[in-house]
Amino acid sequence: MTRNRKMTEDNVMTIREMCDTFEVTPRTLRFYEAKELLFPIRQGTKRLFTRRDRARLKLILRGKRFGFSLEEIRQLLDLYNPSDEQGTQLAKTYELACQRLADMERQREELDEAIEELRNRLAWGEEQLSALKSKEAAE
């Protein structure tokens, strides 16, 4: 056999290594697997997470920060998947991704607006605070 010493199964991670790397719990990773968001290799009873799983998890966590549900994220992940989809399936996925892109661009516009507004309110807040301070000083 060409491989010795622990087989060095290249580039896979145990569940604990995953948890430490991404700051999630084992429960979360198993939950995502149950929801078909991740597909770790099963070596005997244990899970081994590949490069692909890591990439997917990154996208999952990002999606969550954008307020997407796990189901929405799952559908998006299919797009990033070098899968063996046939014509109609591929077309459907493509369609879906276009919509998500539109969603995200709308969301960005809103986000810009919201940031702008919040900046204004913060400026107003600073005024209030400094006004209060000078009033305090006057006593």
Partner DNA sequence: CGTTTCGTTTACGTTCGCGTCAAGCATTGA
Partner DNA sequence: TCAATGCTTGACGCGAACGTAAACGAAACG
- Residue 45 interacting with DNA (CB under 7 A): yes
Contact (CB, 8 A) for 38 and 53:
yes
Q: 43 has which bridge partners?
A: 46
Query: How far does CA 25 lie from the centroid of its chain?
Result: 15
| Residues 6 or more apart whose Cβ sits within 8 Å of residue 90 | none
Site residues (CB under 8 A) for its own copies, limited to 86-105: 87, 90-91, 93-94, 97-98, 100-101, 104-105
- Residue 2 interacting with DNA (CB under 7 A): no
| Binding-site partner at residue 52 among DNA, its own copies, none, CB < 5 to 8 Å by type | none
Contact (CB, 8 A) for 63 and 76:
yes
| Residues 6 or more apart whose Cβ sits within 8 Å of residue 63 | 72, 73, 76
Minimal distance, residue 63 CB to DNA, in Å: 9
Residues in contact with its own copies by CB under 8 A are 62, 64-68, 79-80, 87, 90-91, 93-94, 97-98, 100-101, 104-105, 107-108, 110-112, 114-115, 118-119, 121-122, 125-126, 128-129, 132, 136
